Copies of this chain bind each other. A is one copy, B any other.
Amino acid sequence: MFESASLPHVMTKAAFEAAETQLRERLLDAQFEVADRKNAAVMVLINGSDGVGKGEIVNRLYDWLDDHFVETLSYGRPTDEERARPGAWRYWRDIPAKGRIGLVLGSWHHRLLRNRALGRLGRNAYDRALEEMIRAEEMLRHEGVYLLKIWLHMDFAEARRRLKKLRQSDGALRRPAVVEWDEFESEKDRARLADAALEMIERTSTGDAPWAVVPAADPRYRDAAVGDLLLQTLTRAAGDGRPSPRTLAIAAPANDLPKPSLVSFLDLAQGADRATYAQELRALQQRLTEATTARSFRDRGLVIAFEGNDAAGKGGAILRVREALDPRRFRVHGVAAPTDEERARPYLWRFWRNVPRRGDVAIFDRSWYGRVLVERVEGFAAPQDWMRAYQEINDFERELDENRYTVVKFWLAISPDEQLRRFQDREAKPFKRYKLTPDDWRNREKWQLYEAAMTDMIDRTSSRHAPWTIVEANDKKFARLKVLQTIVDRLEEAGRA
């Protein structure tokens, strides 16, 4: 969930100041619109580790907004009054009136996370609580309360350093700060907390109210991003009620904020050692054969999805996987435009029907991720439809996982230059020419859009049970080894579990 948010996000002072001027004006306009029409309330839920700047965000928003229509709703340890009533009472009591904005610290998510991380909620009870939360938030939406769920993300060591700095002079806080997690001191506690948080963000990111993970290391970037997200939410609250795809963005909500792509930080040129390649390949294939013919695999299944840039070498990688499999026990599904049969049914139908028997392997050459890649970029699916797809896909893959399938997902990444070289090569060689279509050239022009869609996709669907593997694929041999290695590792891990 934090893939792209973990990349450096910075904003220069000049860029921030330029953005701020415009943002403030638009925020105030949108706020007055909401205040005038009085048909919706907005709640900004500000969450994250201690030290990431939750209090600073609140202060900043007070600076930017008209504070007559803003209130801070802050929940700490329950008071006597609160303890004497159901847990939800205090949140209900404080729901802002239509026309107003509530800035929420310590929302219901915080309480749930805490109970889970402290071991007070078991697996099923936590699952149930998350599902009920989804439904309660949907009810709020129907009733005209718009939620902006923000998770401020920062490297933990950095957050701790910042918190210490606030405390430096004689131990007391130099400035008021929002400290919520001080009981989670040990490494183990923090790991449990991080795990629960990751799961909560994955499970409760609905198409209608997704979590926005905001990189918080650079305060300027952080504030500009939160401001833009709030602007989207206010606009939605004042207007037609449709969610904006920009509230989905994790890394960079606004087009004018520098948006690092996940791929731009990779070393795509990594190469395999030519001298040992053949030997390594054979060894990995051997291990794959063993893993998929082991007795324990009969009761498990394997589903592999290949996505990536055009000409990134998916076919060649699939060939190397295929070679190691029992020909009776696998099937490769090339996913092109849906057939009439498929178009007449929910988009996941064509993949569900091809879920293999346990003991078998299904390889998808392009996959259900088309929904959030090509269908998004080309406009084949409406924003509200592809926005809800992340959650639906996570549900689908979780169901596979719970049914003892190993789900392995690859994004094969090449550079634009390398792609051009391969396209020209295909054009030049008659026997390869069939592989190149006018679509490929058209897609190439939309490189940025595809890269943004890919970044959102990986942020939203790299889940605990089905993580993405990005494969640096400028060197085909390197890519093939990495693909095989990943599959073998995942299978062997599943076999041990």
Residues from chain B with a CB closer than 8 A to the CB of A352 are: 88-89, 92-93
Q: Which of B86, B98, B358 contacts A84 (CB 8 A)?
A: B358
Say whether A97 contacts B344, CB under 8 Å: yes
Contact flags (1/0) for A46-82 with B, using CB distance below 8 Å? Answer: 0000000000000000000000000000000000010
Tell me if B346 and A139 are in contact (CB < 8 A).
Answer: yes
Contacts of A99 in B (CB 8 A): 344
User: How many copies altogether?
Assistant: 2
Asked whether A357 lies within 8 Å of B86 as measured between CB atoms, the reply is no
CB distance from A12 to the nearest CB of B (A): 42
Known: A85-B358, A142-B388. A97 touches B341 (CB 8 A): yes
Q: Which residues A121-147 have CB closer than 8 A to chain B? A: 122, 124-125, 127-128, 131-132, 134-136, 139-140, 142-145
Inter-chain contacts of A388 with B (CB < 8 A): 139, 142
Identify the closest chain B residue to A348 (Cβ).
Answer: B92
With contacts A89-B355, A403-B86 taken as known, whether A124 is within 8 angstroms of B128 at the C-beta atoms is yes
Cα-based distance from A95 to B349 in the complex (angstroms): 8
Taking the complex as formed, is A260 at the interface, i.e. its CB lies under 8 A from any CB of chain B?
no
Q: How many residues of A contact B (CB 8 A)?
A: 56
| A334 lies within 8 A of chain B by Cβ | no
Given A86-B400, A92-B348, A131-B132, 4 new contacts (CB under 8 A): A86-B355, A124-B125, A127-B128, A145-B346
Give A contacts to B, CB under 8 Å.
38, 41, 81, 84-89, 92-93, 95-99, 122, 124-125, 127-128, 131-132, 134-136, 139-140, 142-145, 301, 341, 344-349, 352-353, 355-359, 385, 388, 392, 395, 399-400, 402-403, 405
30 contacts between A and B (CB under 8 A): A81-B357, A84-B357, A85-B355, A85-B356, A85-B358, A85-B403, A86-B403, A86-B405, A88-B399, A89-B352, A89-B353, A92-B352, A92-B353, A93-B352, A95-B346, A96-B345, A97-B344, A97-B345, A99-B344, A122-B124, A124-B124, A124-B125, A131-B134, A131-B135, A132-B395, A134-B135, A139-B388, A142-B385, A143-B347, A144-B346
